[in-house]
Amino acid sequence: MRKILSGKKWDKVLDWDFNKPEVKWFVGGKLNITENCIDRHLATRAKQTAIIWDPNDPHSESQCLTYQQLHDQVCQVANMLKNQGVKKGDRVCIYMPMIPEVAYAMLACARIGAVHSTVFAGFSAGSLIDRINDAGCKIILTSDGSYRGEKKIDLKSIIDDAITKCPTIEKTIVFKHTGVRVSMKAGRDFWWHEQIEKASAHCEPEIMDAEDLLFILYTSGSTGKPKGMVHTIGGYMVFTAYTFQTVFQYQPGQVFWCTADVGWITGHSYILYGPLAAGATTVIFEGIPSWPDMGRFWHVAEKHRVNIFYTAPTAIRSLEKAPLSFVHQYDLQAIKILGTVGEPINEEAWHWYHEHIGRKKCPVVDTWWQTETGGIMISPIAHVTKLKPAFATLPLPGVQPAVMDESGKELATHGVEGRLTIKFPWPAMARTIYGDHQRFKDTYFSTFPGKYFTGDGCKRDDEGFYRITGRVDDIIIVSGHNMGTAEIESAIDEHSAVCETAVVGYPHDIKGQGIYAYVICYDTPHEEENLRSEIRDLVSKIIGPIAKPDKIQFVSGLPKTRSGKIMRRILRKVAEGEMHNLGDTSTLTDPTVVDEINTGAL
């Protein structure tokens, strides 16, 4: 008889101590996640579509890949990696567009026990260098270029820039996608299409421990460099599969479309691992919602008869501004369930989504979670939980939130507002920050000892329903992307004219939050607009276009306390346009800077 799965059952379900912190799920369990996501389905679904790929250009053919084809492709890429010397435990950087090969690449790493570190292909060389060096990646998988609507982006040239500062990188493998001319360095850069020919489609899965690393994924911190969140195999697999099936009530045969990029946790958990573990059909969409017009999402949803649609509030808000004819020209009857993720959804956007996309028939699941949580934590269960616009509603079964006041006391009743913590482990929680366990402890387990601190504020209403109110630290969420203000500040400070910077978020109609920078220059700038565009370009070059400040105000000083700390509360108020409500400013060294800032506010 054919062996169905390798591996071994766990000896103990959970071992944990939030003070260390240390968490282990399925202790002693052995498995390979790709067997669960692919091989296990072959007996019954070899011919079922696993992945539908919809390319950037609406006139190009989309591709449907069956589970059997996915199996063969993943095994081939796995062998290609082995041929290049990649071994169990090696870190592999993946910097690729939204094409099927990015899925093969990630799964191929998992097949051979290598750890993937996927970097969103919108990040610039600077961000890439930090991430590659922090993880000590050995090889980069990339493509010549990517498409973004009408634009082409030369990914390989970004890699060429970065690689000179990445001593651990030995090789790159380049997938030919846009056909742009690239420079290939002999002995270091290899074409994917040439290497793949030498690789067979049979690859035994490496048997891994449940607590071995599956991937590292970077997320911004409120201070310092991005944090490499470490996710391990067993718990992550179980939790992404469980939450996928539970929240979306996925039924066999349905088509699921999550519009995120695979470079974010949403893409890892709900384009790839969760849906594939559940044997679903998952969509990989290469395009953008606004090209060739604002109807693109709905066109794709109609074309592939999407049943479950999962996107970010920022996308909904921008599509809501377009004429309704962009929605109504498409048949969206197949859609049964809608989801959102990434930031609080305002009631207006919720209602528009529910009415126009869901025809008032589809539940909207507002799913709260984080890169660190690995999977959905607080969310309605479609058709089960009562919906309440702008509320993530209730914790999923097994998730134990606790709302804390600032003094560290748990607010155990209903009708409270405070900081959101989780007091019991869940399987997909990050186990550490790669190479810096102390930072993991300090960031997440020290504010409220014995509890995981999310960094979010929340309300629990009289019914016990949760509404997430946003970050309470120096992280801002811009178009659903999590960004540290400190990181943006240090990028702006790189400009030779700039002496000091403070960055805060402010409410933005479409992006949720916009980026507002207060900048002190050595000399009063003469050409303010020129300097603004230089600063924007610089930030784009160092971090990526998503981090460009929306507003830059030049100031001669910043409100500081006598101990030298910037009073961000005041800067936030001014950025929000609340100039008269600044609260206590008596501890400032020089209160006159506040007047100046107020007068020049943008």
**Contact residues: ligand WT7, CB under 6 A:** 219, 265-266, 341-344, 366-371, 392, 454-456, 468, 470-471, 477, 482
Minimum Å gap between C-beta 526 and ligand WT7 is 39
Minimum Å gap between C-beta 353 and ligand WT7 is 13
C-beta of 443 vs 482, nearer to ligand WT7:
482
Q: Treating both helix axes as pointing N-terminal to C-terminal, what angle do 100-112 and 67-83 enclose, rounded to 10 degrees?
A: 60
Do 458 and 513 meet the contact criterion of CB atoms below 8 Å apart? no
Distance CA 207, CA 33 (A): 9
Number of neighbouring beta carbons within 10 Å of residue 323:
9
C-beta of 170 vs 576, nearer to ligand WT7:
576
Minimum Å gap between C-beta 473 and ligand WT7 is 9
The β-bridge partners of 517 are 503, 552
C-beta of 120 vs 298, nearer to ligand WT7:
120
Say which residue the tokens 């999402």 belong to. Answer: 297
C-beta of 26 vs 257, nearer to ligand WT7:
257
C-beta of 161 vs 461, nearer to ligand WT7:
461
Minimum Å gap between C-beta 260 and ligand WT7 is 7
Q: Which amino acid is at 336?
A: K
Distance CA 582, CA 60 (A): 54
Say which residue the tokens 């209602």 belong to. Answer: 351
Is the torsion defined by CA of 50, 53, 54, 60 positive or negative?
A: negative
C-beta of 144 vs 261, nearer to ligand WT7:
261
C-beta of 294 vs 376, nearer to ligand WT7:
376
CA 369 to chain CA centroid, Å, is 10
DSSP 401-467: EEEE-TTS-B--SSSEEEEEEE-S--TT---EETT-HHHHHHHHSTTTTTSEEEEEEEEE-TTS-EE
Minimum Å gap between C-beta 236 and ligand WT7 is 14
Distance CA 577, CA 556 (A): 19
Q: What angle do CA 104, 267, 180 make, to 5 degrees?
A: 60
C-beta of 127 vs 482, nearer to ligand WT7:
482
**How does 583-597 read in b/e, with b if 16+ C-beta sit within 10 Å?**
eeeeebeeeebbeeb
Minimum Å gap between C-beta 199 and ligand WT7 is 33
Minimum Å gap between C-beta 470 and ligand WT7 is 6
CA 203 to chain CA centroid, Å, is 30
Residue 309 has what DSSP assignment? E
C-beta of 203 vs 262, nearer to ligand WT7:
262
Q: What angle do CA 135, 139, 140 make, to 5 degrees?
A: 95
Minimum Å gap between C-beta 420 and ligand WT7 is 8
Both tokens assigned to 189: 């850069």
Minimum Å gap between C-beta 492 and ligand WT7 is 22
